[in-house]
Amino acid sequence: MTLPHEHVFMDLYEITMNSHLILCDPEVARYELGFFKECGGSTIVDQTVHGLGSDPEALREVARDVGINIIAGTGFYWEKFHPPWLRDMTGRDIAAMLVKDLAEGFYGTDVRAGILGEIGTHHRRISAAEERVIRACAVAQRETGVPISTHALFTRIGMEQVRLFEEAGANLDKLVIGHVDTTPDVDYHLELLRRGVWIAYDAIGQLDKQTDERRADAIVRLIGAGYRDRILLSTDVGKRGAMRSYGGTGYDHVITRFLPLLWERGISKDDTTALTVDNPRRLFSGS
């Protein structure tokens, strides 16, 4: 069972001045991921990109200690979180750096990334700097074949992301539009799916964005429309409050709380295995 969009180590304090966004303690990470493993979880995709305080070596250690797989992401989040050095890089420089992260290892380490994501844009528009990153990701994807995953919060900005990625030559069959469940308009989700991309219900458990019951109703509708094999489920844990250590429901929320909502609605175990096991596997293997 894979969670395709999470964060294990992240530190956004300097940009947000919010101490809930400091996740840097390996002991907490081991404790939290231990619950995930106990509930049957096997793989976490950590989409903490440059500028968000990622820690590839700590990820490798924690994965080894807990006995799960962690796939690390590379790329850039939305412009507010771009590291200052990104400004001086050309699109070609950015693409070369991303390919290096994917093929050889993050700077100074031999830990390789396995996905381009989460690639961010503003929620109402895509800035020039964000567009440059999108184009560089398309180039890096063509060279390496990895999936791309985006941050598309609250609006229909995912449609614009698809348009730009397509124009830049990205493989839409390996493009995931993220956070679509923060925009509860199922017609928008269907519109994305008809463009040939994947969609991620990856804010499950974040009740300030939508209730899990409404998410479950929407997934029933999407499966009914024939899109079971294009949907991913995750929780985007990224705040202390989402973790069990601080009163949250942790990385096992999808398994322990959300899948039962789907079963209650008549979704079969085969279907939920497709959503949580087969779909992520297919996205990463390309078959």
Give the footprint of Zn ion on this chain (CB under 5 A). 118, 236
CA-nearest of 235, 236, 226, 234 to 271 is: 226
Residue with Cβ nearer Zn ion (233 or 267): 233
| Shortest Å, Cβ 240 to Zn ion | 15
Residue with Cβ nearer Zn ion (146 or 223): 146
Residue 13 burial by CB count (10 A; 0-12/13-18/19+): exposed, middle or buried?
Answer: middle
The rounded radius of gyration (Å) of the Cα atoms in the chain is 17
| Shortest Å, Cβ 73 to Zn ion | 9
CA-nearest of 189, 183, 202 to 73 is: 202
| Shortest Å, Cβ 261 to Zn ion | 22
CA-nearest of 199, 206, 181, 218 to 257 is: 206
Is the torsion defined by CA of 126, 154, 281, 171 positive or negative?
negative
CA–CA dist 91, 171 (Å, integer): 18
User: Which amino acid makes up residue 170?
Assistant: A
Residue with Cβ nearer Zn ion (99 or 237): 237
Residue with Cβ nearer Zn ion (206 or 272): 206
Q: For Zn ion, which residue has the nearest CB?
A: 236
| Shortest Å, Cβ 158 to Zn ion | 14
Residue with Cβ nearer Zn ion (130 or 236): 236
| Shortest Å, Cβ 126 to Zn ion | 18
CA–CA dist 163, 146 (Å, integer): 19
